[in-house]
Amino acid sequence: MIKKKLIKMFHKGWKSCAEKKTEHIGSSSCLYGKESDEATVLSYNDVSVCYGEKTVLSDVSFLVKPGEILGIVGESGSGKSTIIRAALGILGNGGTVAGGTICLHGQDLSLLKEKEMRKFRGSEIGMIFQDTRAALCPIRTIEDQIVESVAAHKKISREKIKEQALELFDKFGLKRGKEILSSYPFELSGGMNQRVGIAMAMLLQPSVLMADEPTSALDVIAQKKVVEEFLQLRNMYRTAIVLVTHNIGIVSVMADNILVLHEGKAVEYGSADQVLRSPENAYTKELLAAVPRIRKNSGTEKWNRPAK
Q: How many domains does the chain have?
A: 1
Provide the residue range defining the domain that includes 79. Answer: 2-292
297 part of a folded domain: no
Cα–Cα distance measured from residue 273 to residue 275, given in angstroms and rounded to the nearest whole number: 6
Does residue 183 sit within a domain?
A: yes
Task: Please write down the HEC assignment for all residues of 121-155.
Answer: ECCCEEEECCCHHHHCCCCCCHHHHHHHHHHCCCC
**What is the reported pLDDT for 143?**
94
Residue 299 within a domain: no
Residue type, 286: E
Domain assignment of residue 104, yes or no: yes
Q: Is residue 278 in a domain? A: yes
**pLDDT at 294 (0 to 100):** 61
Closest CA to 63 of 100, 97, 113: 100
What local confidence, expressed as pLDDT, does residue 11 receive? 44
pTM: 0.81
Q: What is the pLDDT of residue 305?
A: 55
In this prediction, residue 307 carries a pLDDT of 53
Q: Do the domain assignments include residue 93?
A: yes
Ordered mean pLDDT values, 10 residues apiece, the chain (308 residues): 45 38 51 56 94 92 95 92 91 88 91 85 88 88 93 90 92 88 92 88 91 84 86 90 91 94 94 94 91 60 52
Does residue 302 form part of some domain?
Answer: no
CATH number at residue 57: 3.40.50.300
Quote the DSSP letter at residue 48: E
The residue type found at 233 is L
In a domain, 61, yes or no: yes
* 215 and 221 Cβ atoms separated by less than 8 Å: no
